[in-house]
Amino acid sequence: MSTVHPSRSTAEALLADGTTVELRPLGPGDHKAVLDLHAEGMSEESRRMRFFGVSRNAPARAADRLCGPPRAGLLALGAWVGEELIGEADCELLDGPPETAELALAVADRWHGRGAATLLLEHLVHTARAAGIRFFEADTLFGNRAVHRVFADLGLPVERRYAQGEVRVRVPLDEEGGERYRSAVDERGRRADVASLAALLRPASVAVIGASRRAGSVGRTVLGKIRRGGFAGEAWAVNPHTREIDGRAAYPSVRALPAVPDLAVLAVPAGAVPAVAEECGAAGVRALVVLTSGLGPEQARGLMRACRRHSMRLVGPNSLGMAQTDPAVRLDAEFGGAFPRPGTAGVAVQSGGVGIALLQRLAWLGIGVSSFVSLGDKYDVSGNDLLQWWEADGRTDLALLHLESFGSPRAFARTARRVTRTIPVLTVDAGRSAAGRRGAASHTAAAATPTVTREALFRQAGITATRSIEELVEVAALLHAQPLPDPRGAVAVVSNAGGIGILAADACAEAGLILPELPARLADLLPPGASVHNPVDTTAAVGPTELALFLRALEREEAVDAILVCIAPTALCESPGQDPVRALLEGPARRRVPIAAVLLDQQVPVRYRGCADGGMLPTYSDGLSAARALAHARDRARRLAEPFSPPADAPDCDRRAARSLVDGHLTAHPEGGWLDPLSTADLLEAYGLPLTTTVWARDEHTASVAASGLRRLGHEGKVALKAYWPGQVHKSVSGAVRTGLGSDAEVRSAYREFTRRFGGELAGAVVQPMAAPGVELLAGVVQDQVFGPLIVLGLGGTAADVLADRVARLAPLSELDLTAMVAELRSAPLLVGNGGAPPVDLAAVRSVLARLSRLADDFPELVEADLNPVIARPDGALCVDARVRLERRPSFDPYLRRLRRPAAAEAE
Ligand code: ADP
Ligand code: MG
């Protein structure tokens, strides 16, 4: 077993109560802190539990052991709140059992019960795994319930052996059963996140810092809104230059306030932000909303430092503010528009302008807001945080997000998949088609863009993505007030003017909805001349009573999952006794199936009309909008109906071998880049990806020797020879691939040809046995800026670019994803046996995808992988060409709980 090197990287993360702690390896400089922790931070009883017999030297021995000169085999991690070391977790390799380390944990008494031990352990597990440790062992006292609880809750399997009042605990750290551990980590992360946001979203007191006397200044405007909005708590103004604002006292500093505010809203010049933030933190403020924009890098770092050190969550900078409509809080701390009406829609926007537009439209429509946050430059609090808050706040049943970028795409996709199971999440996708794929050179990367719409990716994450704010509001109107349709999505279109109905039916069909046949007997309910072929034409003569009866009959039809009623204002409608709109308003808004109305004389795109049952009927000015909204609702219903599918199985992946390969490459090439052919082969092998035998040859002679060994493995006794030089892109187009070489003379002449053609550039060549022919597929990984890794499957080989037959899905792939990917290929018939050809080994193709998914999920550093072709045959699948590109990534475990570090505030 190799020596263990403590990682120097530090992270910030949240305790269960929302306190920010810093986690970093312990070193010689921490001797006194460790001594204090054990000697003063812990009672005698705690020490007895920790060290068994109480020895007066125990704290000193612990400090010496953990903070001596760095020792191979020891990993020690400290958790700090400000300057205080509140706990430590360490493990040290044992002499006896291999890959096993003795674990120890200590948390200061006054920090017990806040999840510090679990958090330390999670991070130690992460570091230990990376260092090749596979088991933790610890002796614990039988009566040490706290420690046993920590182990039990961790989410990893725990083996216990009992002997004489002691329990020997053994925890395997392997990835098997990883989903249970990940869910446990997720759940803890969710709770801590929500706890940390309370000071921001439900503060009991607020200070506005930088509120000036000048009318129209940002600070003063916000202060005025907070006061006029009827904030339930205390609101103070802080301004060193004035004694009063609007007839109320202003205080010279945060320290001078009568009490410490939970939340501070900063409207000070950029240069003052770091110092003011630090002052707030030192005073005990728990959250900041920074309205100031234009912070330079130094100011950004100063702000972040203050927030992390003092456990403050941060909205902004460059935020428009936030609003909480809960009557128990009533906080209007934003300078956007009118205070939103209380309601159940959660709104978070990155751009302030979009926020104003969105709130205004929701107000026109009559959808109230639970909380609103303008995220601004999103140094800390992001859409992800808000989704978790709304999931838990008991008031929100609809989430509206405007997204431009994500701090941690993987975390977002994972959270969204969960949250969208309970509440609909709607977003405007600006449709930046090439996002995140710039600079991509391989087939897979270039391929992903045209075929994989971001809309499809949003759908996989369970999010309803719209193309405009208008569309967002139109869909929200339906989802907010109407039931979801059956996932089948069969719509009955009804109109009082045939042509309008046909247009609406076209819109439905284009949106992917189906229009079922309706029973002829329904025609009996309508005036003579009516047609009940879907779309239904009631004729203009239809009266409110007839239409009401007809709708009632329609909603009971098994074939109907949703109703779209279009009403054109004919002259007949002008007589109240004849107005078909009355049939809608005097009937129920909530029926067995969702109903949307199109009123052609309506001037606004969408509005609500109150119905007899007190429910709301969304009415649209045009059929396209209504059809689109119904299609989104159908998509959501489908999503909710999907059974849970576990992550696809990829047994026997050697994560440690792959980790050391990736780390090794990135240490040698900090700027990242493509792996050479042999490292690529090693990486794929570690994850069980079937690359054909690949032998390196540095000259003509070694090529000839290698070929003679490989020839008998090759199809018809032949080999392939491929020239290699660093940075090469497509080999065959530049004449770097020679296939079907049967004799030694052919191999030698091919190599000489490479030398002539590529000269000094040529680094060598790889020799492979010729694979038997089959269906050439491509399989790969690309990174999407928003969603993280996508797994791509397509038709491969030289036809790849011409036919562009590809599907992509978010990693990690589920078993269902695997099935869907293969089925969605246009070339699927080639795989399942076409025209008498035997079907290919689909299990082998699925295994390639599952393993790629696992690899991408385990290694965010893998920014691009392109296996092309993977030759699929009845007897298996074999890759003959693979390229992998690595890049250093700041965080390498998506499931490790840690706060994001905004790029703007990263240290130089
Ligand atoms: P590139 O994609 O860089 O042009 P490849 O290594 O994929 O180069 O080779 C191009 C084509 O040559 C493949 O699509 C495949 O049809 C064929 N080929 C390459 N290597 C082999 C092999 N070992 N066995 C069979 N066919 C091969
Ligand atoms: Mg290729």
Reported as a single tens digit per residue, the pLDDT across 395-452 is 999 999 987 766 666 777 788 888 999 999 999 876 544 433 333 334 444 444 444 5
| C-beta of 693 in contact with ligand 1 (< 6 A) | no
**Nearest atom (ligand 1) to Cα of 730:** 3
| C-beta of 713 in contact with ligand 1 (< 6 A) | no
Amino acid at 486: D
State the pLDDT at residue 897: 81
Q: Is 189 a residue whose pLDDT tops 60? A: yes
Rounded Cα distance, 540 and 547, in Å = 11
Nearest to 218 by CA among 84, 324, 334, 300: 334
Mean pLDDT of the chain: 89
**Nearest atom (ligand 1) to Cα of 719:** 23
pTM of the model: 0.84
Ligand 1, atom 6, residue with closest C-alpha: 881
State the pLDDT at residue 433: 46
The region of weakest confidence among 75-89, 318-332, 334-348, 406-420 is 406-420
Ligand 1, atom 7, residue with closest C-alpha: 881
| C-beta of 625 in contact with ligand 1 (< 6 A) | no
Q: Report the separation in Å between the CA atom of 737 and the middle of ligand 1, taken as the mean of its atom positions.
A: 7
| C-beta of 869 in contact with ligand 1 (< 6 A) | yes
| C-beta of 784 in contact with ligand 1 (< 6 A) | no
Q: Report the separation in Å between the CA atom of 594 and the middle of ligand 2, taken as the mean of its atom positions.
A: 50
Structure tokens at 292: 């100031």
| C-beta of 768 in contact with ligand 1 (< 6 A) | yes
| C-beta of 692 in contact with ligand 1 (< 6 A) | yes
State the pLDDT at residue 593: 97
Rounded Cα distance, 810 and 570, in Å = 50
Rounded Cα distance, 444 and 574, in Å = 61
Rounded Cα distance, 441 and 885, in Å = 10
Nearest to 345 by CA among 394, 397, 391, 401: 397
Q: Are 723 and 756 in contact (CB under 8 A)?
A: no
More confident residue, 144 or 844: 844
Nearest to 883 by CA among 449, 440, 436, 453: 440
**Nearest atom (ligand 1) to Cα of 768:** 23
Q: Report the separation in Å between the CA atom of 698 and the middle of ligand 1, taken as the mean of its atom positions.
A: 20
Ligand 1 pocket test: which of 691, 718, 722, 739 has the largest number of ligand atoms within 8 Å of its C-beta? Answer: 739
Quote the longest CA-to-CA distance of the chain: 100
| C-beta of 797 in contact with ligand 1 (< 6 A) | yes
| C-beta of 484 in contact with ligand 1 (< 6 A) | no
Q: Is 889 a residue whose pLDDT tops 80? A: no
The region of weakest confidence among 320-329, 353-362, 725-734, 897-906 is 897-906
Burial environment of residue 891 by CB neighbours within 10 A (0 to 12, 13 to 18, 19 or more): middle
The model's confidence at residue 458, banded by pLDDT at 50, 70 and 90, is confident
| C-beta of 657 in contact with ligand 1 (< 6 A) | no
- Express each pLDDT in 241-293 by its tens digit: 988 888 889 999 999 999 999 999 999 999 999 999 999 999 999 999 999 99
Ligand nearest to the backbone CA of 691: 1
